[in-house]
Structure 1
Amino acid sequence: MLEFRDVTLRRAGRVILNQVNLTVSPGEHLALTGPSGGGKSTLLKVALLFEPVDEGTVLWNKREVTVADLTAHRSRFLYIGQKPLPFEGTAEEYLDLPFTFAANRALRADREEQDRLMEALGLDPALKKSPYTRLSGGEQQRLTIIQGLQLERGFCLLDEITSSLDQESMRSVIRHFAQEKGRTVLAVTHNREWLDFGFSEVCLESGTLWRRK
């Protein structure tokens, strides 16, 4: 369970987060909405302790997360941003990239699972042999999502991951996360289709957060 308790963050004299309180329970699927500049992406960074707060605490299972907990704490989360990474190589090599990192070397790429995820997100598995740079932005973004989904992380922090996708691709991505009952999901979005797929709405505007009824 992730909890933000009375979190306040200021930058250059501006209040980015104002006494934010939010508890995300295991298995919960939340869509974090609100206008641009309202602090949504910053809240995800606070969850991972990439942004120090001025007041308040971040807790995991009711225990405050400290700098000493960073490695273990961050390993619980899958963070996916809205822009694919630059990469030279094939799409398959891009999918395999996380397994080259020290934190994931105990894991192995599963080709059948890669193919299953590609088909679920509307991609032809034959694309794995294509140069990554020749793929469209939408194809690269879906590969980035699959790249992360391969990892055994139970809590997904998603930052506008469907913003560059067409309607059909966007729905396939949202549908996939909606069906991921074993994962907890906190998704920053401007797209209200997440709500149509059963996500509960939390709104953050001008640093103030509330749950929609």
Structure 2
Amino acid sequence: MASINIFITDDHLLILEGLSAILESIEGIEVVGMSQSATATLEKLQSIQPDLLITDFHMPGVSGQELLREVKKKYPKIKVLILSMHEEIPEIVDLIKDKADGYILKNSGKEEFIVAIQKVMVGEKYFSSSIVHQLLRDLNNPLLDTKALSNQELKIAKMLANGLSSPIIAEQLFISVNTVNTHKKRIYAKLNISNLQELVKLGAQKGWF
């Protein structure tokens, strides 16, 4: 069986070298390149075509998400596994939309990396177990259910989440401020929330921005 060629990108040298050592110790895996920035990675990918790119998500300058988009556009056959310290569900949803093949936490052990790489290389998606549990929990969260809202209420909810005041909403929708405030109370009641901060959180989860 041919080796799986992996390229690693992380702005922290310690993590870069540590992950490389872990991966090199796994039979059937070869680290063919490393880089501390997305820009340098894109330059190196012109001559190195790995099977899998493992990249940090939070990097200065060009982010891991931007790198993902560029790689998928220029080299669609390269699998991309996102590496992060955080379980940020709205960002993970965006990464899925950008065709990420997986998302693994930096505190994952060697065995989980093996499973992640194996799954990704056969065309499956992989997400750390804690992320899967959080995704499932959020999917069952009433905050995510906007089906109870009328079309007008949904429109106003999005406008509120985007920072528009009641007078501005009233002006744009040709209704009174009192009507906007009445809709606002109904929106909060139907979504079981009590403040604008929770509505903004919902907006982030639903991609309203």
Q: TM-score higher than 0.5 here? A: no
With CA pairs under 8 Å and 6+ residues apart, which has the higher RCO, 1 or 2?
A: 1
CA radius of gyration, larger in? 2
TM-score, normalising length: structure 2: 0.34
Q: Which has the higher helix share?
A: 2
